Every structure is written in structure tokens, then in C-alpha cells.
């Protein structure tokens, strides 16, 4: 009976989380639309390699946030790959140490004469 209660609790928590996420996204969308409406000016961006002329500020912000988001994903991805690699290496070392300990335990005791 308690298992059902916990499963139902998990489902209701998931629904609440989705609802909060939906409301948050709606609020962010409204804020972005308000920002775009109030800031219709255009800017020019020179990145050295690429030059953008007469871009609306809202589009410039979207580009900047997108580039930052992609850079963040790449950075986290590289760190995650390193952690997974280290974890795999540590597991291999642990297995080797466990085998060594089991071999040591199986050895017969020698008399100390």
C-alpha cells in the first residue's frame, strides 16, 4: 500500500514540477517579448571575423545568449567526459585491488618458526 502512495506522490510531484516549469517559461517569454517591444533599436556587432550590421537589440541578445549557452554546454561536456573517464579508471583500479586482496586472503598462513 505504501508503494502506491509513493508512486502517486512521485507522479503528483512531476506534475507540479512541469506546471512550475511551464509557468516559468511563460513568464520568461512575456519578459522577452516586452524587452523586444520596448527596445526596437538596431545595433552593429563586429566580432573580428564576422560583422553584423543593423541587428535589432533583441536578436543580438538572443545570439549572445545562444553562443553562451553552447559554450557552457561544451565546457560542461568536456568536464563530464573527464569525470566519466576518471571514474572508469578508478573502477578498474578498484577491481584490481579487490582481486589482489582476495588473492592475499586465500594464501595459506605460514608458521612463524
Please state the domain count of the chain: 1
The reply to whether 87 falls in a domain is yes
The whole-chain average pLDDT of the chain stands at: 88
Indicate the pLDDT class of residue 24, thresholds 50, 70 and 90. very high
Task: Identify which of 85, 43, 81 has the alpha carbon closest to the alpha carbon of residue 63.
Answer: 43
Percentage of the chain beyond pLDDT 90 is 53
Q: Which domain holds residue 100?
A: 57-107
In the numeric block, which cell numbers belong to residue 35? 524587452
pLDDT for residue 72 is more than 80 = yes
The reply to whether 25 falls in a domain is no
pLDDT for residue 1 is more than 50 = no
- pLDDT of 111: 65
The whole-number average pLDDT for the span 5-27 is 85
Distance from C-alpha of 66 to C-alpha of 75, rounded to nearest angstrom:
14
At 55 the three-state DSSP class reads: strand
The reply to whether 70 falls in a domain is yes
Amino acid at each position: 500500500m505504501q508503494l502506491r502512495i509513493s508512486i502517486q506522490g512521485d507522479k503528483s510531484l512531476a506534475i507540479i514540477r512541469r506546471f512550475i516549469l511551464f509557468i516559468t517559461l511563460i513568464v520568461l517569454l512575456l519578459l522577452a517579448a516586452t524587452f523586444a517591444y520596448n527596445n526596437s533599436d538596431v545595433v552593429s556587432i563586429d566580432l573580428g571575423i564576422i560583422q553584423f550590421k543593423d541587428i535589432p537589440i533583441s536578436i543580438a541578445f538572443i545570439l549572445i545568449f545562444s553562443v553562451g549557452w553552447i559554450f557552457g554546454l561544451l565546457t560542461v561536456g568536456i568536464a563530464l567526459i573527464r569525470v566519466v573517464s576518471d571514474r572508469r579508471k578508478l573502477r578498474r583500479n578498484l577491481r584490481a585491488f579487490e582481486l589482489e586482496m582476495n588473492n592475499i586472503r586465500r594464501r595459506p598462513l605460514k608458521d612463524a618458526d
